[in-house]
Structure 1
Amino acid sequence: MKISEIYNLNKSQAELDFIDIDITKDTPLFLDPFFLSKKNDNWSQDATLTLRSFFQIIIDKIRNGEEESAKELFEHLHEPNSTCLGLSKDTPQGNGVGKRDTDKIYSSLLRSRAIQTGLIQDIEDNILFVDNFGKDKLSDMTTNIITKHLISYTQDQCNLHNIPLTNSISGYFWNRDDDEWQSEYTDMLVIDELKILLVPKGIVSFSKAYVPIRYYRQYVLNFLQNENLRINSALVQRRKNGNRYITKKTIEEVYPYSKDFLRQFTQNHPEILEEFKRNTSVKSLHNNEITEINYRNIALTLIQRLNNIQPGSETASDFHNTIIGILELIFYPHLINPKKEREIHDGRKRIDLVFDNAASNGIFKRLSDNMNIPCGFIFVECKNYTKDIANPELDQLSGRFSTNRGKVGLLVCRNIENLDLFINRCKDTFNDGRGLIIPITDIDLINILSVFNERNHEPLERFLSDRVREITL
């Protein structure tokens, strides 16, 4: 049974920021530290710092001859059942790092001398060079190390969707401030005595990019193919027209795939590994890659739901909840990790929603890169008013901006009678240096949903770009 079903959220995967796991079985998705390191949102960067902290200490201890001390740090890299991600076919039980596995992995790590020689620099490099180490074990290690980040994320999502939490022991997580494993009592999501950690859908992958076989076939073999042609080795053949060639199959027969070969090759040609890292990219999964989804039906349902909500304070919660789903649908994967009513200024002010800006392209990237507007976070105010919004609502939102938090906000409301006048008010706010506020009404959302396609953000981009241009020019 899925989280959305257990708690009657009435939301599809496209309206949720987290993986809507079935707690009775594992979902074949993985936490990939290489992918995590490539993301530019605050949550991913913070989690990556924790991963690097842990692994750097492992590296330092092994290089300093403190092998037993390093091995002790592997003690808490157990099989995590809490995310329900991985390769198990039935009840989540992990296919990853158990006690025997940690011993084997650590022994392989030492035997390979990959750390001592500097071959392994990041935790994801283990998958390339350490024997008996695959994406499932790497994902498990990652989960254990960043457990604290996943707990905080789970708490935020449960608060967003009114899911009850239980005070319980957290399990071990790596504390990079103290350089040690710790645990604590905190609010946890507990279902049938099973502690559940929700995972952002924007950070999971099928782990098919940063893998040894791709490194071998697309980079190592390519290099060896070109190198043999350059030196005109005995492996080179000639076609009838005299052109020289050499097949990858020939190279593969002479240099068969193994992690031992990858270790030796990379020690001699570290620049090829750097090229592999530099050119390997991973994108957030589309919702329909995670589960079967009919976007048209979801969009039509959200339009109907929005139209059925009457303006006014009594239905403000319904409006707020519907807007969360709409914004999650249309802005993913550019805006992620929504949090509800985050307190700032010691609780004196509250923000309806705060999204992490994870955009690698599009309007939310251009605002920062081209217009120099701080927007690490995007703030959202939802107003289910029966009357028009005016200057007080603008001042309320702009008063929450700062250089560190960001100076871009979305003001979502039911209707604006005189949009030109309100755009001019937003323009005044922007020209005064108080931030960029983008108004979005019901009709705007309905127009966007009517043509929504997750693989084509052009209509949404056009709407936002036009509205930003109106305000800033």
Structure 2
Amino acid sequence: MPRFSKHFSLSLTQHELDFVDVSNTFDTPVYVDPYAIEIQNDVWAATASELIRVFFKEVLNAIRSKDIPRAINLMSHLTEPQETFLGVSSGNPAGRGVGPGQSRQLIRAIATSKAYKTGLLADLSEMALYVEGIDRDKISDLTTNIIREQLVDYTQKQCELYDIPTQQYSGPSLWDAKRKNWISKYVQLPFIKSTPVLLVPKYIVRRKLSLDSQEFYNKQITDYLIAENLRASSSLVHVLKSGEPKVYKSDVRKKHPKSKSFIADVVKSHPELLALYKDIARKERSLSTFDDREDIPTLTTACARLAEQFAKVPTGAKHADAYHRLTMGALTALFYPDLILPQKEWEVNDGRKRIDIVFTNNASVGFFAQRRDDPKLNANLVIVECKNYSSDLANPEFDQLLGRFDDNRGRFGIITCRSIDDYKAVKNRCLDAASRSRGYIIVLTDADMVAMLTAKSQLQDKQIAEFLHRKYRELLT
């Protein structure tokens, strides 16, 4: 079968989608990463993190109190997630999760690990560092099961976004953090023929786990051991002809072979090494491409194609959906992972008003981060109104968006339109709103979108940042 986007005729590339565009005939070689979830600052990830934290705490409490039936009950619900098609497996896509038969083995592995015995093990994301037999497949599948209800909700919102039909599905149990137990209920999911699909936001997946025992051992731990041997002038120190002392990595690794118990010992004595490793992992940006198959265009190719599409969509209400989808895809391609989790026509004020697109502001640096951190704007969300008009924007369009700002959503938005004839009048409307602290709106025309997409296709991200800052500065003059 084709990819999800092709099956549902979305005509969008992976770069225009917020989720991993999977197929049900092959696995996509990426993994749901609990640390990638933990480091995010948005509400969706915070909820997912709490689900993971509560679950793992319950497991550890059950093991400490020797309530093995409780621990087994918790672990036995972590079935293989068949609906995401992520990871690597032989043959047809299949999970490698923790089934009922493996729950005792996993509990035993945790209980006998040095990290557990010394109180070091506290986070699910660190299990791959400390617990033998736990790798990226199991961590990914454990995480997927624990946050399944969050992923169901995300999938439903993406289906609403693209008008994709869903069907009732009675799948694996869902973790309920309030009840601290698993519950069963019917959910709505999209299907490819008879196969249910659970979509995963691409900002929480990685090609390998952020916290990887081999990588941690190869870099931070080995570098530390080399420095310690040099400091102590140990027997591993060789003196080069130049007189420079040298310790070879191979010698260090031979004397201190990698094991998860050894990693636990090192971290227990030197927690700063793990803190350094986590800090490095925190700074890695989210993925935008997930495999090397030929049907995946590059980001530059996708942006070049998008730049050409704006001239092909006519103005007017009849073509509003096509313009809306094009704009949403273009904004995702331009600003992911700063802008994530798009929702279409998100209801506000008890459903009396609807917004065209709402993005979660996930930026850590740059233009959108500055808008979120500015106390005047507090732009936790970026609200986007798409106007497929042939005439200029007027006061009602601005008043409509301004009326949707508040202290929780923030006071920053974007209006996209096809063109502007009277630029001075539009600019004055934006200035008037900003000067009265009602909100800050930037207007992007087709020409603006094409210019940014063209810059992105040429890897000129700096030009895009400068363009946005220039647009914003106009509101302050």
TM (norm. structure 2) is 0.94
Q: Distance in 1 between matches of 2:8 and 2:98?
A: 31
Counterpart AA for 1:312 = G
> What secondary structure, in the 3-state scheme, does the structure 1 residue paired with 2:456 have?
coil
1:132 maps to which residue? 133
Q: Distance in 1 between matches of 2:451 and 2:266?
A: 55
1:421 maps to which residue? 425
Is the 1:330–1:454 contact (alpha carbons within 8 Å) kept by the matching residues of 2? no
Counterpart AA for 1:298 = A
Is the 1:26–1:89 contact (alpha carbons within 8 Å) kept by the matching residues of 2? no
Q: Distance in 1 between matches of 2:51 and 2:458?
A: 32
Mapping of 1:180-191 within 5 angstroms? 180-191=181-192
1:450 maps to which residue? 454
Q: Does 1:45 align with 2:46?
A: yes
Count of residue pairs the alignment pairs up: 473
Cα offsets for 1:295-319 (capped at 9, x unmatched): 4543343334321222211221221
1:240 maps to which residue? 241
Q: Distance in 1 between matches of 2:466 and 2:291?
A: 26
Choose 158-167 or 192-201, whichever is displaced more: 192-201
TM (norm. structure 1) is 0.95
1:56 maps to which residue? 57
> What secondary structure, in the 3-state scheme, does the structure 2 residue paired with 1:452 have?
helix
Is the 1:105–1:131 contact (alpha carbons within 8 Å) kept by the matching residues of 2? no
Is the 1:383–1:411 contact (alpha carbons within 8 Å) kept by the matching residues of 2? yes
2:226 maps to which residue? 225
Mapping of 1:244-323 within 5 angstroms? 244-281=245-282, 282-287=284-289, 292-295=296-299, 297-323=301-327
Could you tell me how far 1:391 is from its partner in structure 2? 1.3
The correspondence for 1:378, drawn from 378, 382, 387, is 382
2:103 maps to which residue? 102
Cα offsets for 1:167-199 (capped at 9, x unmatched): 222431212222221222222122232221011
Q: Distance in 2 between matches of 1:225 and 1:189?
A: 53
Mapping of 1:56-95 within 5 angstroms? 56-95=57-96
Counterpart AA for 1:212 = S
Q: CA 1:117/1:295 → structure 2, altered by over 3 Å: closer, same or farther?
A: closer
Q: Distance in 2 between matches of 1:405 and 1:437?
A: 14
Q: Distance in 2 between matches of 1:288 and 1:55?
A: 28
Could you tell me how far 1:371 is from its partner in structure 2? 6.1
Mapping of 1:111-126 within 5 angstroms? 111-126=112-127
Cα offsets for 1:148-183 (capped at 9, x unmatched): 111011001111111101122243121222222122
Could you tell me how far 1:335 is from its partner in structure 2? 0.6
Q: Distance in 2 between matches of 1:464 and 1:307?
A: 22
2:351 maps to which residue? 347
1:162 maps to which residue? 163
Counterpart AA for 2:287 = L
1:472 maps to which residue? 476
> What secondary structure, in the 3-state scheme, does the structure 2 residue paired with 1:284 have?
coil
Could you tell me how far 1:289 is from its partner in structure 2? 5.8
The correspondence for 1:335, drawn from 332, 339, 342, is 339
2:437 maps to which residue? 433
Choose 454-463 or 185-194, whichever is displaced more: 454-463
CA-atom RMSD in angstroms = 1.9
Is the 1:24–1:90 contact (alpha carbons within 8 Å) kept by the matching residues of 2? no
Cα offsets for 1:419-452 (capped at 9, x unmatched): 1221121111112121111111111112222232
Q: Distance in 2 between matches of 1:424 and 1:164?
A: 43
Q: Distance in 1 between matches of 2:160 and 2:372?
A: 29
Could you tell me how far 1:60 is from its partner in structure 2? 2.5
Q: Distance in 2 between matches of 1:435 and 1:183?
A: 44
Cα offsets for 1:37-84 (capped at 9, x unmatched): 122232222211211121122222323333331232101111111100
Counterpart AA for 2:277 = F
Q: Distance in 2 between matches of 1:223 and 1:298?
A: 43
> What secondary structure, in the 3-state scheme, does the structure 2 residue paired with 1:380 have?
strand
Q: Does 1:359 align with 2:363?
A: yes
1:4 maps to which residue? 5
> What secondary structure, in the 3-state scheme, does the structure 2 residue paired with 1:451 have?
helix
Gapped regions of structure 1 (runs ≥ 5): none
Q: CA 1:347/1:415 → structure 2, altered by over 3 Å: closer, same or farther?
A: same
Mapping of 1:25-44 within 5 angstroms? 25-44=26-45
Q: CA 1:451/1:289 → structure 2, altered by over 3 Å: closer, same or farther?
A: farther
1:147 maps to which residue? 148
Q: Does 1:324 align with 2:328?
A: yes
Counterpart AA for 2:274 = L
Could you tell me how far 1:8 is from its partner in structure 2? 1.0
Could you tell me how far 1:145 is from its partner in structure 2? 0.3
2:25 maps to which residue? 24
> What secondary structure, in the 3-state scheme, does the structure 1 residue paired with 2:457 have?
coil
Counterpart AA for 1:123 = L
Is the 2:304–2:457 contact (alpha carbons within 8 Å) kept by the matching residues of 1? no
Q: Distance in 2 between matches of 1:368 and 1:321?
A: 25
Q: Distance in 2 between matches of 1:366 and 1:372?
A: 11
2:412 maps to which residue? 408
> What secondary structure, in the 3-state scheme, does the structure 2 residue paired with 1:280 have?
helix
Q: Distance in 1 between matches of 2:160 and 2:405?
A: 23
Q: Distance in 1 between matches of 2:245 and 2:419?
A: 70
Q: CA 1:283/1:294 → structure 2, altered by over 3 Å: closer, same or farther?
A: closer
Is the 2:29–2:290 contact (alpha carbons within 8 Å) kept by the matching residues of 1? no
Q: Distance in 2 between matches of 1:265 and 1:327?
A: 45
Choose 120-129 or 269-278, whichever is displaced more: 269-278
Q: Distance in 2 between matches of 1:375 and 1:297?
A: 31
Counterpart AA for 1:78 = T
Counterpart AA for 2:289 = N
Choose 152-161 or 87-96, whichever is displaced more: 87-96
Q: Distance in 2 between matches of 1:223 and 1:295?
A: 38
Q: Does 1:396 align with 2:397?
A: no
